[in-house]
Amino acid sequence: MNWLDEGALYSSIGLFLREDLGRGDITAQSVLPRNARARGRFVAGETMIVAGLEAAEEVFVTLDPQQQLEAFASDGEEVEAGKVIARTSGFADVLLAGERVALNLLQHLSGVATMTRQFVRAVEGTDAKIADTRKTTPGLRMLEKYAVLLGGGINHRYGLDDGLCIKANHAGIAGGLAVAVKRARAAIGHVHMISVEVANQVEATEAIEAGANVLVVDGLDPSALMELVGAVRKLSTQVTIEVSGEVSGPITLENVRAYADAGPDLIRVDALTQSVKAMAIGFQIQAG
């Protein structure tokens, strides 16, 4: 899979290592024979979508440009418990210095990808795509959004600069939903899409008439949503309909299918990148 910008993706690996290494690994340096060599294997402890192998390789390469990871699965692939995902060999102190950061990334990102895949499967057969949100772990957004792609989801806004999204807050402060949309269009021209959060058909109609490209529907149960979708589709074939669970309560693996069946184009799921469950992955090291 291509990715936006490797620089953006891996630029913090050095910081993560410094966070863990501080002034250096005093155990390894005190205890290991000079130039001792070792081999390590990453082994899956449960079924998962692997994500973060390139990040893990970057961890070791940052410590020693010679170090490489031989991968037996690729980012985005599903593996079973017991599968050897990748192996590496080199100086023992490099393996030990990178172990924890590599694992912390791999386990976390594989958790994101695996959760995403579960949501994607839950809506299979419908027209709804699963998208992430800005509820990401501070400092890990680009890596988490990459893991969402690996899981089969699509990326929503990367940040506040990446598309307009007019919420009730904005509309309230600006003096109404239609005013807000029109101000936005005047400021931004036709370069960006304008999304508007709506809670019912009246607001949806107002937003479309004011020139919104995307409706973000929140606060409706699946049947009310289906009704709104039908009405909107009659008004315009160009408008995209997103569902968000901010007000209605979180979108879960249990309820996502019902929302998908209501006909939206996109469902935004906090759970992809919030309260991430780390996957069980081990790193087995031996001398040699």
- Of residues 14 through 53, those in contact with its own copies by CB under 8 A are 15-34, 36, 38
Quick note: the x/- pattern for its own copies over 82-111, rule CB under 8 A, is ----------xx--xx--xx-xxx-xx--x
268 has catalytic annotation: no
The nearest distance, CB 157 to its own copies, in angstroms, is 7
Give 82 or 189: the residue with its C-beta nearer to its own copies. 189
CB 231 within 8 A of CB 203: no
**SS3 category, 280:** coil
242 has catalytic annotation: no
Q: Let me know the angle formed at the C-alpha of 168 by 188 and 237, rounded to the nearest 5 degrees.
A: 60
Site for its own copies in 178-217 (CB under 8 A): 180, 183-184, 187-193, 213-214
User: What is the DSSP-derived secondary structure letter of residue 279?
Assistant: -
233 has catalytic annotation: no
CA 52 to chain centre: 12
d(CA 270, CA 134): 8
User: What is the DSSP-derived secondary structure letter of residue 154?
Assistant: B
117 has catalytic annotation: no
CB 56 within 8 A of CB 11: no
Give 133 or 223: the residue with its C-beta nearer to its own copies. 133
Site for its own copies in 104-163 (CB under 8 A): 104-105, 107-108, 111, 129, 131, 134-142, 154-163
Among 51, 208, 229, 266, binds its own copies (CB under 8 A): 266
54 has catalytic annotation: no
Q: Which residues of 236-266 are buried (b: 16+ CB within 10 A; e: fewer)?
A: eeebbbbbbbbebeebeeebbbebbbbbbbb
Give 125 or 169: the residue with its C-beta nearer to its own copies. 169
Q: Which two tokens stand for residue 144?
A: 């988490």
Give 19 or 223: the residue with its C-beta nearer to its own copies. 19
The nearest distance, CB 252 to its own copies, in angstroms, is 14
User: Given 3-state DSSP classes, what are the helix, strand and coil percentages for the chain, each rounded to the nearest 5?
Assistant: 45, 20, 40
The nearest distance, CB 100 to its own copies, in angstroms, is 5
Per DSSP, which regions of 135-255 are E strands?
164-166, 194-198, 214-218, 240-244
Is residue 12 part of the contact set for its own copies (CB under 8 A)? yes
- Closest to 134 (Cα-Cα) out of 269, 13, 252: 269
Residue with tokens 């149960």: 221
CB 284 within 8 A of CB 39: no
**Which residue is catalytic, options 100, 121, 129, 157?**
100
The nearest distance, CB 133 to its own copies, in angstroms, is 9
**Which residue is catalytic, options 39, 167, 183, 185?**
167
Site for its own copies in 215-234 (CB under 8 A): none
The nearest distance, CB 102 to its own copies, in angstroms, is 10
Instruction: Please list the active-site residues.
Output: 100, 135, 167, 197, 221
